[in-house]
Amino acid sequence: MINNKLPKLWHGADYNPDQWLDCPDVLKADIEYMKKAKCNVMSIGIFSWSILEPVEGVFNFEWLDGVIDSLYKNGIYTILATPSGARPPWLGINYPEVNRMDGAGNRYEYNFRHNHCYSSPVYREKVHIIDEKLAERYAHHPGVIMWHISNEMDTNAPYDCLCPLCRENFRAWLKKTYKDIDTLNKFWWNGFWSHKYSDFSQIQPPNLQGEEHSVGLKLAWKRFKSDLLVDFYREEVKTVKKYNPDLPVTTNIMNTFEIDYYKLCKHVDIVSWDNYPNWYSKNDNCEIAVETAFYHSLYNAMKPDKPFMMMESSPSATNWQPAAKLRPCGFHLMSSMQAVAHGSNTVQFFQWRKSRGQLEQFHGAAIGHDGTDKTRIFHEVENVGKALEQLVQIQDTLSHNDVAFLFDYDCAWTLDIIEGFRNFEKRKGFETTLFKNLGALWHLNAGVDIIGTEDIVSGGIALARYKVVVAPMMYILRRGLVEKIEEFVQDGGVFVSTYCTGIVDEENLCWQGKDYYPLGNVLGILYEETDALYDIHENTVEMFGKEYRATRYCELSHLNGAEALGTYKTDFYAGMPAFTVNHFGNGKAYYIAAELEEEGLIKAYGEALKPVLPKEKIPDTPRGVNVQWRYGTDGEAYAFVINYTETPQNISLPYDFDILYGDLTCGTIDKYGVCVLKLK
């Protein structure tokens, strides 16, 4: 449960009554429609600064009082935003230093949103003033249930700030991180291309008008930017918490890899994120479902003892996607329930009502330009509201899983920066690999917790909690991690590694000498080379009497204790191992050397997981029907069965259960069908 004030699954939306102040009927009608759609929360004030403070120092809260009061009187709670996501014109124009600066020293003009300089003392001060005013007035309002700090905070929208203050802050960060210039030179391998600095003062951030190639510099800059954003966020939190430390705070995060959300989310009371899958953009919606599951599983695991929130989603077409494709009847329910299945206690969407103009006038909404509840989309939203009421007991459950899936932001950043492997893929195809590996687990119905390795090394997360740990394309093998993995396997755990895993340390220095491949010990292999294929090439892997296509990556290693379960069939490495297992202590370590086609990858993961996971946890289902679990504090188990395909599917589940929601008559689940089962 998120908050005792509202002991339900939350249903709501971003709501912008400030856009309709000259249409008083709108608020009144909206509240009626909200109640009809069983909405109980609304996010308010996200971009209201130019209305709250139209002229510097002149504040206007009456309209907001009215909105919050009216909602509250009608049983709808407010998630109140600080408006720092978009500054008003007067702020960007009167104080140019709050805008970012480009590499050539040109200050950007006042601009759309987000592109403020996070270092700017002026910006921080002006945000502090408006935040304080809001906190003073609303921190104890009975209708205000949570703070929504800023909005989709971003490091580089649309471009890095390269102002003197940010440059100076970066150098200070470097000094704090590396202590002395020799250490920095060594970690960055600055003998290369004559780049040995003699002093920190010589270092400038990477930029098109300067250094664009130094790997160490670029990685440091990404880390710095992420840290600076967290610092800015924390200052806002401090302001609002002063007035009511008990009112929880969150900030809505996104599906970007550009910010280290592990670090940011240490400072939220509850994790919330904005979920915009691009359904129907590929031939197979399962791929989209897997990508979405990735983010749900990642953000759910960031606070293992709490549910998360899906702060935004689209009830229909998303206007800024390549095509604003409509979603079929029932699809919004399915897409919403995927979040709940993975641990969300809310279904919130953008936006309650379509605006008349500007960039998001065509974004999906409960209420369209006709202003009625007669539309298909309103009906879809209403159905979600009803379902959430039906599932009220779910609020006391959490999603936690037997499989740990390792993922680091540093790894994504570094793969973006280096040159090697499949350069023509963004980040060398890191996401593709992540999603293919997660996809195999998803098709096996094996739910995962996606966790960062820094917390493992520091002891914040104990691997012992898991039965299986997978490390797909975990290019960075942080110092201290291999010991944790070996201990985990020694104690009976199953570890699965893939190509491009364990190559460098966290400074992007290749592991070296006799330790050049630290995972070799647990995997029982001698790694030698990584073949990065062009798309015109492929290999074949024979496993368990069957042949599977291998594309993109094929790694060449030698057995050194491990047993080959699969071997390459062609090219000069025919006969070399492509899938291996090593018995290590009481556990096993698997190595998937190549990018196998889906069926092969499922086969390989099945081989690794099935012996250690209870059969009921990984039931067989038709392709596209997925099962996720939530558990109550007294051991109650709830299975969320969702059919992501466009046809009804027959399923047979190996449990006794009550149906909490949905229909499984004759063992058939409808297209886009959702069933929630409670195990007996």
**Binding site, annotated residues:** 113, 117, 151, 161, 163, 166, 320
**Whole-angstrom distance, CA of residue 649 vs CA of residue 625:** 8
For a second copy, the closer CB: 188 or 295 = 188
Of positions 375, 383, 521, 551, contacts a second copy by CB under 8 A: 375
**DSSP code of residue 510:** B
| Binder of a second copy out of 368, 480, 606, 648 (CB under 8 A) | 368
Does position 426 interact with a second copy (CB under 8 A)? The reply is no
Residues at the annotated binding site for Zn(2+)?
Answer: 117, 161, 163, 166
Q: Which of 180-188, 236-244, 252-260, 602-610 is the region at the interface with a second copy (rule: CB under 8 A)?
A: 180-188
Using DSSP, state whether 11 is helix, strand or coil. Answer: strand
- What values do phi and psi take at 522, rounded to 5? -70, -35
Longest dimension (CA), the chain: 76
> Rounded to an integer, what is the distance from CA 598 to the centroid of its chain?
23
- Measured from the CB atom, the residue of 466 and 568 that comes closer to a second copy is 568
For the question of residue 152 being annotated catalytic, the response is: yes
Contacts of a second copy in 598-657 (CB under 8 A): none
Minimum gap (Å) between residue 638 Cβ and a second copy = 29
**Which of residues 517, 629, 638, 640 is near a second copy by CB under 8 A?**
517
Establish if 361 lies at the interface with a second copy (CB under 8 A).
yes
The residues in 112-131 that bind a second copy, with binding defined as CB under 8 A, are 112-113
**Count of CB atoms situated within 10 Å of the CB of 202:** 11
- Told to check if 662 binds a second copy by CB under 8 A, we report no
Distances (CA, A) of 563 to 156, 485, 548, 579: 47, 19, 19, 9
Identified binder of a second copy from the candidate list 57, 176, 305, 357, rule CB under 8 A: 357
Count interface residues toward a second copy (CB under 8 A): 117
| Minimum CB distance to a second copy smaller for 14 or for 486 | 14
Q: Which of 1, 51, 35, 642 is nearest to 382 (CA)?
A: 35
What mask of x and - would describe binding to a second copy in positions 449 to 478, judged by CB under 8 A? ------------------------------
SS3 637: strand
SS3 letters across 552-567? EEEEEEEECCCEEEEE
87 binds a second copy (CB under 8 A): yes
Candidate residues 10, 14, 18, 524; the one interacting with a second copy per rule CB under 8 A: 18
Q: Which span sits near a second copy by CB under 8 A: 265-273, 334-342, 448-456, 504-512?
A: 504-512
Rounded least distance, CB 91 to a second copy, Å = 9
Burial group, residue 437, by CB count within 10 angstroms (0-12, 13-18, 19+): buried
- Regarding 377 and contact with a second copy (CB under 8 A), the answer is yes
Q: Does 28 bind a second copy (CB under 8 A)?
A: no
Given the DSSP bridges, would you call strands 637-643 and 625-632 parallel, antiparallel or unpaired?
Answer: antiparallel
Amino acid letter for position 359: L
The catalytic position among 236, 258, 291, 312 is 312
Residues of each annotated binding site for substrate: 113, 151, 320
- 75 or 371: CB nearest a second copy: 371
Residue of 569, 570, 455, 477 lying closest to 523 (CA atoms): 477
Residue closest to 544 by CA, chosen among 600, 619, 505: 600
- Using the rule CB under 8 A, is 401 a contact of a second copy? no
Angle between helices 285-302 and 331-341 (to 10 degrees): 40
Which one of the spans 385-393, 529-537, 586-594, 624-632 is the region binding a second copy (CB under 8 A)?
A: 529-537
Residue with tokens 């499989």: 403
Q: Are 27 and 20 in contact (CB under 8 A)?
A: yes
Told to check if 110 binds a second copy by CB under 8 A, we report yes
207 is a contact residue toward a second copy (CB under 8 A): yes
Nearest to 174 by CA among 228, 213, 128: 228
528 noted as active-site residue: no
Smallest Cα–Cα separation from 305: which of 465, 485, 147?
A: 465
Is residue 95 a contact point for a second copy (CB under 8 A)? Answer: no
Strand partners, 41: 12, 77
Active site residues: 152, 312
